[in-house]
Amino acid sequence: DEGAGVPPAAKSSWSQFLKTITSFNGDLASLTAPPFILSSTSLTEYSSYWAEHPDLFVAPALDSSPQQRALHVLKWFLSTLKQQYSSRNEKLGSEKKPLNPFLGELFLGHWDHPTAGRTELISEQVSHHPPVTAYAIINAQHGVKLEGYNGQKASFARGTINVRQVGHAMLHLEKWDEHYLIQLPSLHIEGIIYGAPYVELNKSCTIVSSSGYVAKIDFSGKGWISGKKNSFTATLTKEGAKEVLYSIDGQWTGNFEIKEGKGKNVLESYNAKTNMTTPLAIAPLDSQDPLESRRAWSKVQAAIQAGDMDTTGVEKSKIENEQRELRKKEKEEGREWERRFFTRVEENKLFKTLAERVGIEPEPEKTDGVWIFDEAKAAKWGYGKKKEEAEKEAVLEN
């Protein structure tokens, strides 16, 4: 039954949407979806899904065995998937279309966790056209830092939207000077014709470490091998070796088991449903920077939540016009918007060396360049490395 998940009053707008989507041009931001499918959350907020289990995020740093660390990284990665790809579904009843962030939009916050301590989140929209969000997530106490950026390439085929993520994430463990390159999984959107879209992951993705471990995760959904939605199987191997050190399988929204070798001996069982997340703390609206997401979008968000589409349109246009003016002025003055926390670089050597080992290609033309977290910029705003250290370095450089 087509449109079963659509509110009665929106039936015709949804069937209209289904018609327009067949000629979808690949630009997700330009997709005009009916009001009931609009979310009041901006994409800059999605970076927070990486560390809603701060204890799992820092766990790799606490282990003295490189092999165990690689396993901890894999487990943490798997634990993020439920937040990343299924939380809107659970909270809002279906996947929704997020707000398209403006250039320079920020989403800042931190998690305080009883054992992991403080983990800081910096998320910034580094490109508007195409949309690219960059982020750094830092736990200074345990010397754990995740940085990355991503955009999406989408296409429509046979009733689903296929989304390939471009960009990557890199995890650094300071104490062991270890780097992990995390490939972002491809996804598609199911349930569109019913008006109840949800994300399913597909194909596979890889995590490769500077210490020589490779994790490969294979995703499958309903009607595949296991028959259950949100399924996966993962293995951890030493690079270039066939022997499977650990295997993990189950559902990323449910239960999965970590097993020794190819599988018999279960070492640990993880339940994504019962493992509670730590809430992100963010500043109250009136003390936020004007570029911070919730402050900047507050009027739009209130209008969406009230179902007032006229006001939504008016308030959105205000932001868009303001942005247009800024771009025009920059163009006239021959300069570019200064990103607050990130810098575009020619190439990221670390990324390149890790990527080459597993055949991942950098795609700077799809993300308006290669982005790195700029510690000097961040220190100026009191983030990341301690301020004094940054000042000392500045003195040495001069």
Site of interaction with ligand CLR (CB under 6 A): 28, 31, 33, 37, 43, 46, 49, 84-85, 95-98, 150, 152, 163, 165, 189, 197, 199
- Minimum CB distance to ligand CLR smaller for 119 or for 152: 152
- Minimum CB distance to ligand CLR smaller for 169 or for 258: 169
- Minimum CB distance to ligand CLR smaller for 95 or for 258: 95
- Minimum CB distance to ligand CLR smaller for 184 or for 350: 184
- Minimum CB distance to ligand CLR smaller for 61 or for 154: 154
- Minimum CB distance to ligand CLR smaller for 98 or for 250: 98
Largest CA distance in the chain: 69
Minimum distance of ligand CLR from residue 256's CB (angstroms): 19
Alpha-carbon distance 127 to 105, whole Å?
10
Minimum distance of ligand CLR from residue 210's CB (angstroms): 23
Minimum distance of ligand CLR from residue 156's CB (angstroms): 10
Alpha-carbon distance 272 to 259, whole Å?
17
- Minimum CB distance to ligand CLR smaller for 152 or for 247: 152
Minimum distance of ligand CLR from residue 28's CB (angstroms): 4
Minimum distance of ligand CLR from residue 309's CB (angstroms): 17
- Minimum CB distance to ligand CLR smaller for 85 or for 107: 85
Minimum distance of ligand CLR from residue 260's CB (angstroms): 31
CB-based contact 349:339 (threshold 8 Å): no
> What are residue 58's phi and psi, to 5 degrees?
-90, -10
Mind spelling out the 3-state secondary structure of the chain?
CCCCCCCHHHHHHHHHHHHHHCCCCCCHHHCCCCHHHEEEEEHHHHHHHHHCCHHHHHHHHHCCCHHHHHHHHHHHHHHHHHHHHHHHHHHHCCCCEEECCCCCCEEEEEEEECCCEEEEEEEEEEECCCCEEEEEEEECCCCEEEEEEEEEEEEEECCEEEEEEEEEEEEEECCCCEEEEEECCEEEEECCCCCCCEEEEECEEEEEECCCEEEEEEEECCCCCCCCCCEEEEEEEECCCCCEEEEEEEECCCEEEEEECCCCCEEEEEECCCCCCCCCECCCHHHCCCCEHHHHCHHHHHHHHCCCHHHHHHHHHHHHHHHHHHHHHHHHCCCCCCCCCEEEECCCHHHHHHHHHHCCCCCHHHCCCEEEECHHHHHHCCCCCCHHHHHHHHHHHC
Minimum distance of ligand CLR from residue 148's CB (angstroms): 9
Structure tokens belonging to residue 161: 């939207």
- Minimum CB distance to ligand CLR smaller for 66 or for 167: 167
Packing angle, helices 309-332 and 298-305, rounded to 10: 160
Minimum distance of ligand CLR from residue 255's CB (angstroms): 22
Minimum distance of ligand CLR from residue 135's CB (angstroms): 9
Alpha-carbon distance 51 to 80, whole Å?
7
- Minimum CB distance to ligand CLR smaller for 96 or for 259: 96
Minimum distance of ligand CLR from residue 271's CB (angstroms): 22
